[in-house]
Chain A
Amino acid sequence: GAVVSQHPSWVICKSGTSVKIECRSLDFQATTMFWYRQFPKQSLMLMATSNEGSKATYEQGVEKDKFLINHASLTLSTLTVTSAHPEDSSFYICSARDQTGRQYFGPGTRLTVT
């Protein structure tokens, strides 16, 4: 099946620094990628939708200046958490949709801000 990778899988950073998370579709082209946030034992909350070559669409309540999303190619999207704070600590999951409409999820990135 289709594979979506994320890097890094786990990152610890200090408060005030920025962290970049990469999401790649390895064996298909994804015109649309999604970024989710998941707190322990909770559901996935959509943060933003990104289409290749255009600006991301953010969900209500998500700060676009804090969570920068770039979708530069059909196989790569990045999420940068700027000036991270402890409350940004969470599990971030990307997802890529193929041309048939099926959506595949990455393995997630655990972010801990100290």
Chain B
Amino acid sequence: QQQVKQSPQSLIVQKGGISIINCAYENTAFDYFPWYQQFPGKGPALLIAIRPDVSEKKEGRFTISFNKSAKQFSLHIMDSQPGDSATYFCAARSAAGGGNKLTFGTGTQLKVEL
């Protein structure tokens, strides 16, 4: 019930391409869905987040698409750059019952090639 499933496990994209990472959840009480970027040996950094009352949120080259009925959300990275090569984690949090704790996906290792 508390799991967040993330795919793919790894992804290789050409420079300038679109990177797409998908997540799915079961707990309908989740009401906050952030994406984090993590470089090797560093802590995760918040990229972008969405709440279920909107279907899409865009910040620069990063877009979250949210499908409440399907209980899925995805991260799109437009014009992917080598500097975007990192591990990306989706997460979800419930204000009620979940103790306001983030549940993380399993992570996606993105490599952007020249």
Contact = CB atoms under 8 A, between A and B. Distances in A.
Contacts of B109: 41
A68 interface: no
B104 A44 contact: yes
Contacts of B105: 43
Interface string A42-53: 111010010000
B36 A46 contact: no
Interface residues of B, number: 20
B44 interface: yes
B101 A105 contact: no
Interface of A is mostly: strand
Interface string A80-98: 0000000000010101010
- Name the interface size band of chain A: 20 to 34
Nearest to B107: A43
Contacts of A103: 34, 46, 102
Interface string A88-114: 000101010100011111111010000
B46 A104 contact: yes
B62 interface: no
B42 interface: yes
Contacts of B106: 42-43
B41 interface: yes
Interface of A: 4, 6, 32, 34, 41-44, 46, 49, 57, 91, 93, 95, 97, 101-108, 110
Interface of B: 32, 34, 36, 41-46, 49, 89, 99-102, 104-107, 109
Given A41-B107, A43-B107, 8 more contacts: A6-B43, A43-B104, A49-B101, A93-B44, A103-B34, A105-B43, A108-B42, A110-B41
